[in-house]
Amino acid sequence: MDKLIIEGGARLKGEVNISGSKNASLPIMAAALLSDEPCVIKNVPDLRDMHLMLKILRALGAEAEFDKGKVTICAKKLKSYTAPYNLVSKMRASFCVLGPLVGRLKKARVSLPGGCIIGVRPVDLHLKGLQRLNVAVSVSGGYVNASVKDLKGGSIYLGGEFGSSVLATANVMMAAVLAKGKTLIENAACEPEVADLANFLNKMGAKITGQGSPNIEIEGVRSLGGAEHKVIPDRIEAGTFIMASIITRGSIVIKGAVYQHLSVLIDKLEEAGVTVEKNDGYIYTKSSRNKFKPVNITTLPYPGFPTDMQAQFMSLMSVTPGVSVVTEKIYPDRFMHVAELNRMGAHIQKEGPHAIISGVKALSGAPVMASDLRASAALVLAGLVAKGRTEISRIYHLDRGYELIEAKLQKLGARIWREKE
C-alpha cells in the first residue's frame, strides 16, 4: 500500500491539463451494454475505477479494452445478467449497470453497491424509477433483482430527501431509451455528467431531450447502435487544482476545463477575494498577497455548490482568517476529513450537518489518513500549504479519482512523492 509524502510551502506555478471526467466515463461505459455494436469512448482517465468497470463489463460477457485514454467496448454476446458482489461492492458507480441490463436483457441481478464511506446513500430512487417503467424489482441476499417483459415509458419523479440523484437519473434514463412510448423524468439530476451520458445515448440512436434540466424527455426506440464519443473534462479535478493554486498562493493555468461547469465554485472564490479569469478556453487563477475572506457554503445538487468540492474548500477556509461555515446537504455525514485536518492544526468544529471553521495562521505537517476520495484531495491541499512534512496513508482512495495527481503537482513545483507504507 502506498502513501504520499508532501513537504509543504511551495508556491505552485505553471500549466496543468485536466483529464476526462471520472463521473461521466463510468455510466457512459455502462451504457455500451445497450448495443450489440462496438462503442469507442475517448478521453477516459486512467483510474482504478475505470479498470474496475472494465472488469464488471467483462464479467457480463462484453469485450472491453483500454488503451491510452480510449475505451473500446463490444457487448454483442452478453453471457450473464449478474453484476457480482466482489466487484460492485468496491465502487458505487458500478451500480449503473442495472439500467442497461434491464433495457438490453429485460432482467438484471446487481449487487448493492459500495464505494467511499461518506454516509448512507440508498438506492430507493433507482428502484422507484425502474418500477415506473413496469419493471418488477426485489432485494434479497444483498442483490437487486429486476425483470420485465415489456418496458413501458412513464412519468417518473426522482426527488429524494437530499435532492436529485445522478446515478438514479442515469439508470432510469438508460433503461427508458428502449422502453415503449415516452418517459418523462421530473426532478432529474442536472449535472454535466448526466447531460454527457444523454449525448452519448443520442449518438447511439436514442431520442433524449431536456438533458441538463430538471425535466428529461425520452422517446423510446427499438434498438441502439454503436457510437464514438469524447468524455467531458473532469470539473472536480479542475476545481481541486484551482484550489491548489489558491491555497499555495500560486498561479496556475488550468487547461481543458469547462468554465461554465465551475461557475458556483468560482463565484464563491471571488467572494473570498480570489481572482479567477477565463481566456482562450483556459482558466487562470491569481492569488493576491491580500488576506482572503471567510465564506459560507452549502452543498446542493448542480448547479449548486458540489459536495465533491466541500472537503477541498474546507482546507482553504482552514487557513483563511475569520469564521466560515460549511453546510452539507447532500451527504450530511461527509465530514470524515475534519478530524484529520484538525490533526494538522486546523480549528474545525462539527455540529450536525455543519462544520464551523475558525481560520488559523498556518497548518503543520502530520501523519494523516484518507477516509474517502475527496477527503484525500483535501489532505493533499492541506499538506501543500502546511509547514513541514505531511504523510497521507490509504491513498488508494485518491487513485480512484485523480489521474497522476502527484506527477501533475510535481510539474507545478510541489514537493510531493509516493512511498510504500
Catalytic residues, which ones?
116
Judged by DSSP in three states, 144 sits in strand
Q: CA-to-CA distance for 297 and 353, rounded, in angstroms? A: 12
Distance, CA of 32 to CA of 143 (rounded, Å): 22
Q: How far apart (Å, rounded) are the C-alpha atoms in residues 330 and 165?
A: 10
Those residues whose C-beta lies under 8 Å from the C-beta of residue 280, and which sit 6 or more positions away, are none
Burial class (CB in 10 A: 0-12, 13-18, 19+), 273: middle
Q: Grid coordinates in use for 377?
A: 484531495
Contact status, residue 143 vs residue 109, Cβ threshold 8 Å: yes
Cα separation, 140 vs 169, whole angstroms: 23
Cβ neighbors of 62 (< 8 A, separation 6 or more) are 32, 33, 73, 74, 75, 78
Q: Which of 386, 307, 341, 395 shows the shortest CA–CA distance to 118?
A: 307
**Cβ neighbour number for residue 38 with a 10 Å cutoff:** 16
